[in-house]
Amino acid sequence: MGVMRIGHVSLRVLDMEAAAKHYEDVLGLLPQGDGPDGSRLYKGWDEWDKYSVILTPADTAGMNHVAYKVENDSDLDQIKEKLANHGVDASLKPAGHLPNCGRSLRFTIPSGHEFYLYAEKERVGKAVGDKNPDPWPDGLKGAGAHWLDHVALQCPFDPEKGVNKIEENYKLFRDALGFYLSEQAFVGPNQDIRAVAFMFRTTTPHDIAFLPAPTTGIHHASFFLDGWSDVLKAADVMAKNKVKMDVPPTRHGITRGETIYFFDPSGNRNETFAGLGYLAQPDMPPITWSEDSLWRGIFYHTGEEQGTFSSVYT
């Protein structure tokens, strides 16, 4: 019971037509019609719920909220109480507050990010159907992303001033939302300050990541591909479409994932992420990275910072 998996991310975009072209032609997401207030809905071909991405027109880029799906509607009431016990005031919203969804629970985590939980969303099915399906559908565009995999959030972090919202988020997700810790990094003179936390509810290395930053934001929204050859094809698609790439194809040490980082036309960072990395389970000992090996964990091949990975986010 409780949180099952990521449900959707709502992103702010500056030019809707440019954003639509990017998410449809580069990532290969499937349009699912319009949402409220001029927004547009998208899903990956291997997803069965109505949408996993909401694009909303705005004057500034960034994330409105991220939503996770719970198993039962009654979980919303139970989690509301758990959040209250940890000092987080959550509010129940009626069906329809989120497009095509049943009741939802809205709250803000210590880092300042807005979250929703919901149990019901309109189902439209996978693009290959669920009876004698082919391994992939015809007519895919761009990278052909399977699904929204995870988000990585930038969290206020200044140990000298006693600010560590990563630690606060970690404890809230562990104790109130039932997430497990897969990987972490410690910094500081005594290597005892948690600066990175990767957490999961499914069986993949992370369903959410908390990263250090001066202010609250989103580092990236990540979309799943099958494997390394698909990552390379995605890079070709980006080059053909003159997409601004932040980090070209490489491998992570953390999660073992194969990756590209790039930007949508509004400046929101996307990732194509391939490979399941390893089997994440509740009894798995968390993997720990020390400060002197952290860049090897982020970019395994070079062990060095690349692009604007640690300095740019929305």
The token pair that represents 241 in the structure block: 């479409």
The one catalytic residue among 168, 206, 258, 313: 206
Which stretch of 14-18, 140-144, 183-187, 305-309 has the lowest confidence by average pLDDT?
Answer: 305-309
Is 301 one of the annotated active-site residues of the chain? no
| Amino acid 281: pLDDT | 96
SS3 state at 29: coil
Residues of the chain above pLDDT 90, percent: 97
Residue 42 annotated among the catalytic residues of the structure: no
Q: How confident is the model at residue 275 (pLDDT cuts 50, 70, 90)?
A: confident
Let me know: does 230 contact 274? Beta carbons within 8 Å.
Answer: yes
pLDDT at 263: 98
CATH superfamily of 3-118: 2,3-Dihydroxybiphenyl 1,2-Dioxygenase, domain 1 (3.10.180.10)
* Beta-ladder partners of 287: 183
1 pLDDT above the threshold of 80: no
- pLDDT tens track for 23-61: 999 999 999 999 999 999 999 999 999 999 999 999 999
Judge whether residue 142 has pLDDT over 90: yes
Q: What is the average pLDDT score of the chain?
A: 96
Model confidence over 176-191: pLDDT tens digits?
999 999 999 999 999 9
* 210-260 pLDDT, tens digit each: 999 999 999 999 999 999 999 999 999 999 999 999 999 999 999 999 999
Predicted confidence at residue 116, as pLDDT, reads 98
Question: What is the reported pLDDT for 201?
Answer: 97
Three-state SS string over 176-238 comes to: CCCCEEEEEEEECCCCCEEEEEEEECCCCCCCEEEEEECCCEEEEEEEEECCHHHHHHHHHHH
The residue ranges of every structural domain in the chain are 3-118, 148-298
pLDDT band at 20; cut points 50, 70, 90: very high
**Residue 220 falls in the annotated catalytic set:** yes
3-state class of 89 per DSSP? coil
Degrees (nearest 5) of the Cα angle 97, 101, 104?
60
3-118 shares its CATH topology with 148-298: yes
The more confident residue out of 307 and 299 is: 299
DSSP 246-258: EEEEEE-SSTT-E
- pLDDT of the residue at 276: 75
In this prediction the pTM is 0.96
Percent of the chain exceeding pLDDT 70 equals 100
At 28 the pLDDT is 98
Residue 97 appears among annotated catalytic residues:
no
β-bridge mates for residue 65, sequence order: 10
Of the residues 68, 252, 258, 313, only one is catalytic, namely: 252
Q: Give tens-digit pLDDT for 60-79.
A: 999 999 999 999 999 999 99
The pLDDT of residue 231? 96
271 pairs with which residues across the strands? 222, 261
Catalytic one of 167, 168, 183, 271? 271
Residue 306: the pLDDT is: 86
Q: For 189-208, what is the mean pLDDT?
A: 96
Kindly report the CATH number that applies to the domain delimited by 148-298.
3.10.180.10
Q: Catalytic one among 42, 150, 167, 313?
A: 150
If pLDDT is split at 50, 70 and 90, which confidence band does 294 have? Answer: very high
pLDDT for the residue numbered 277? 81
Q: Please tell me which residue in 51, 170, 261, 313 is annotated as part of the active site.
A: 261
The DSSP call for residue 166 is H
